[in-house]
Structure 1
Amino acid sequence: MTLGKAELLQAIAGKNRGLLASEADNLAILAAVARLEEFNPTPRPLEAAEKLDGNWRLLYTTSTELLGIGRFPVLTLGQIYQCIRVKTQQVFNIAEVTSLPLLEGLVSVAARFEPVSDRRVDVGFERGIFGLQRLIGYRNPSQFIQDIQSGKRFAAADFRIDPGNRKGWLDITYLDDDLRIGRGNEGSVFVLTRV
């Protein structure tokens, strides 16, 4: 592990994906992110399908939209995954949410991406699924994605997203075998580890 990578992982440790990060913590983390991005071992990440493809777990983000899920009084934000399927140009964002016993929830968005440069993809959100894990039959991200790709409809709020309403882009600014950093169109930073 490189020094810069170890420094970043140390800075985000114990920050609960950013929920527990102070302003000073965020500044230190973003500085460590910027230093690591300078030494990106995969300058053309969209040409490295074998590294990019797979299930990724969120370690840290500045996304107020994602972190907002964990700020509801009775909800606890569980694991957050971003699962990339390069072959079909799909991305699945999955947030596990816990509440009262037997009321574990799931917030998921499915999207398509289109490469527009060596490291940027345009993202068009297509489908949202919000519901109880038990009713959805959720066991893990891979099984859930297979169900989505097979066309399954879920006993949940399962709806199409108007393509004109939710578009964005993401730059992949660092990619190695087990760590990925991205910067989104709303200024958010994402640090993820391969599952």
Structure 2
Amino acid sequence: MSSKLIHPPSMAASRGVISTRTGNAKVLLSFSNLTRKTVSFSDNSIRLRPMFVGNVKEQSSASATNEEEEEETTVSQIKNELYEALKGINRGIFGVKSDKKTEIESLVKLLECRNPTPEPTEELDKIGGCWKLIYSTITVLGSKRTKLGLRDFVSLGDLLQQIDIAQGKTVHVLKFDVRGLNLLDGEFRIVASFKIISKTSVEITYESSTIMPDQLMNIFRKNMNLLLGIFNPEGLFEISYLDEDLQVGRDGKGNVFVLERREIP
């Protein structure tokens, strides 16, 4: 009985391809039949080296440390850039240029992304005290500014927010200087109460308001509703950033407020 060795068909006849590479442990077999359907097999072998894994761990640890240092530095830098951007705009009350407004709001959003107090209403000791408004998107423009005398003889001074946590009260104080009345100063006080409605927000309810001294009241008497309409803090207020000396908040209308901690006068 004889044996016969059968050779595979020639490359040209079978339209097949056999490729072997032992150097990189890769084998590719491809055969095409008469219907031109192709079947391919590919084998790629990867060897993991222990020293490679160790390098990954070392890099991850170093990367985490760098990110923490970068975040801490970045918050400080953002605040410095924000203070610089707020110079010379009088808290934005009489409007700012669109590019400046965009710059300020971009910095505010960067701070909000790095909020160290994500649940501020559960840390009320950080909220209580006196805060000074250094920026707001609420503006007094055109006829409103003229009616309130803020264009000519009345100058708007500090805007303060005094928060009494124990009483659940806020007192907003607007300082005024009036030329020609020999007044050292005058003020508009708005008293409101607040209640916590979430871990980040409070509901503010207007209670009363007064203007002192009487001469200043006579100036604003006809426009009290206008004055309240602009500066009354009533409604939802969400604290979006809070640290030891800076607070950022947004009201129910989307207005932005940036406040800096001050000693109680």
Range class of TM-score, shorter chain: 0.7 to 0.9
- Corresponding position of 1:168: 235
CA-to-partner distance for each residue in 1:4-29, whole Å, 9 max, x for gaps?
21121111122111136222211111
Structure 1: 4+ residue segments shifted above 6 A: 133-136
CA-to-partner distance for each residue in 1:144-172, whole Å, 9 max, x for gaps?
xxxxxxxxxxxx98xxx9xxx98411000
Give the whole-Å Cα distance in 1 for the aligned partners of 2:112 and 2:241: 5
Deviation (angstroms), 1:134: 9.2
- Corresponding position of 1:56: 131
Residue pair 1:55, 1:194 contacting (<8 A) in 2 also? yes
The alignment status of 1:123 with 2:204, answered yes or no, reads yes
Residue pair 1:103, 1:132 contacting (<8 A) in 2 also? no
Unaligned runs of at least 5 residues, structure 1? 137-155
Q: How does 1:45-124 map to 2 (within 5 A)?
A: 45-64=120-139, 71-100=150-179, 101-102=182-183, 104-124=185-205
Q: 1:76 to 1:167 in 2, by over 3 A?
A: closer
Q: 1:130 to 1:102 in 2, by over 3 A?
A: same
Give the whole-Å Cα distance in 2 for the aligned partners of 1:135 and 1:21: 28
What TM-score results when the alignment is normalised by the length of structure 2? 0.58
Give the whole-Å Cα distance in 2 for the aligned partners of 1:81 and 1:7: 23
Q: 1:185 to 1:135 in 2, by over 3 A?
A: closer
CA-to-partner distance for each residue in 1:40-81, whole Å, 9 max, x for gaps?
010011111221100001111111369956834211110100
The root-mean-square deviation of aligned C-alpha atoms, in Å, is 3.0
Secondary structure, in 3 states, of the residue corresponding to 2:254? coil
Percentage of pairs with the same residue: 33
- Corresponding position of 2:103: 28
Give the whole-Å Cα distance in 2 for the aligned partners of 1:109 and 1:73: 24
Give the whole-Å Cα distance in 1 for the aligned partners of 2:156 and 2:200: 29
Secondary structure, in 3 states, of the residue corresponding to 1:92? strand
The alignment status of 1:193 with 2:254, answered yes or no, reads no
Q: 1:113 to 1:12 in 2, by over 3 A?
A: same
Q: 1:65 to 1:115 in 2, by over 3 A?
A: farther
CA-to-partner distance for each residue in 1:104-156, whole Å, 9 max, x for gaps?
321111100011001110110000111228999xxxxxxxxxxxxxxxxxxx9
Give the whole-Å Cα distance in 2 for the aligned partners of 1:14 and 1:99: 21
Unaligned runs of at least 5 residues, structure 2? 1-74, 222-227
Give the whole-Å Cα distance in 1 for the aligned partners of 2:170 and 2:140: 17
Secondary structure, in 3 states, of the residue corresponding to 1:24? helix
- Corresponding position of 1:12: 86
Indicate the structure (1 or 2) with the bigger Cα radius of gyration: 2
Q: 1:65 to 1:135 in 2, by over 3 A?
A: closer
Q: 1:166 to 1:29 in 2, by over 3 A?
A: closer
Amino acid at match of 1:89: G
Secondary structure, in 3 states, of the residue corresponding to 1:21? coil
Residue pair 2:95, 2:139 contacting (<8 A) in 1 also? no
